[in-house]
Amino acid sequence: MAPVWRGLRRVLQSEIIRPLLLIIALLVLWQILVTAFRIPPYLIPSPGAVLRQIVVDGPRLLQESIVTTYAALGGFLLSIAIGIPCAILIAYSRAVESFLYPILVFSQTIPKIAIAPLFIVWFGFGTMPKVIVAFLLGFFPVVVSTVSGFKSVEPEMLDLVRSMKATRLQTFLKISLPHALPHIFSGLKVSITLAVVGAVVGEFVGSNSGIGYLLQLANGNFDLPLMFAGLFVLSIVGVILFVVLELVEKWVIPWHVSQRGGYAATP
């Protein structure tokens, strides 16, 4: 009996099983509440109705999710391509920081949903407006985390490598960049989820495809099961992208991830 109990405990402590059990418990609670309080389907559909909708509209949901994922990844990659170089400039130049950083902070106070229609006017309907909105939402976390990572390097360590006649490039590649990578990946994880949100916002404003467009159609037709099915698929897309990024992190900086799945101190 003891080996069985130990095996059960090991399964319950799995990083995959725990969230699945929580999701199942929430679905069961959802079904119980809908049934017990006799909530009409046009207010909150039952999990069974949402599951049937996913099965019926599975191909359509998959096709629309690919469109949204493509726009989110475009905005995310653009955030990396522009955000990390900007963060390096800010971290290593006080003049650039004094000019650029306040503007970046100010830009985050502007609601993206308010300026998204401008991108439709400038770039027309299509993928580009969605990519830009995803970029605007995902850009700031990358910059902030990267700047924090480069500025957190101990001055004593930098003085040590300078005393060893290391060049600035060697110091950057051997000391500053490895030390900043955990911070960079933390920002990237936030950025990838916000990029998905940005892509959907772009589809809300003006698009004829994507999960955001599908949600608008479902909302206009009061099709609550389809709306919940779209939200479920959207959350799955976000989780998959987040998990893929975590796997990339473990591959790039394995020394940073402890055996228990937590984080260890940088070497």
* pLDDT mean across residues, the chain: 82
Residues 35 and 86 in one domain: no
**32 and 58 co-located in one domain:** no
Is residue 3 in a domain? yes
How many domains does one find in the chain? 2
**7 and 114 share one domain:** no
Q: Residue 24 belongs to what domain range? A: 1-39
Tell me the longest C-alpha to C-alpha distance in the chain: 75
Of 169-178, 193-202, 216-225, the least confident: 169-178
Please give the average per-residue pLDDT across 113-137, as a whole number.
Answer: 80
The pLDDT of residue 259 is above 50:
no
Confirm if 232 and 54 have CB atoms less than 8 A apart. yes
Q: Are residues 192 and 70 in the same domain?
A: yes
CA dist., res. 185 & res. 146, Å (int) = 9
Q: What contacts 5, CB < 8 A, 6 or more positions away? A: none
DSSP 264: P
- The model's pLDDT over 168-187, given as tens digits with 9 standing for 90+, comes to 777 787 888 888 888 999 99
For residue 75, what pLDDT band results from cuts at 50, 70 and 90?
very high
The pLDDT value given to residue 6: 59
**129 and 205 Cβ atoms separated by less than 8 Å:** yes
Residue 265, domain member (yes or no): no
Is pLDDT at 85 greater than 50 in this prediction? yes
Q: Is 261 among the domain residues?
A: no
Question: What CA–CA distance (Å, rounded) separates 220 from 213?
Answer: 11
In a domain, 56, yes or no: yes
Residues 6+ away with beta carbon under 8 Å from 35: 46
Residue 167 pLDDT more than 60? yes
CATH of residue 110: 1.10.3720.10
Is 45 part of any domain?
A: no
Phi, psi dihedral angles at 263 (to 5 degrees) = -120, 135
pLDDT of amino acid 72: 93
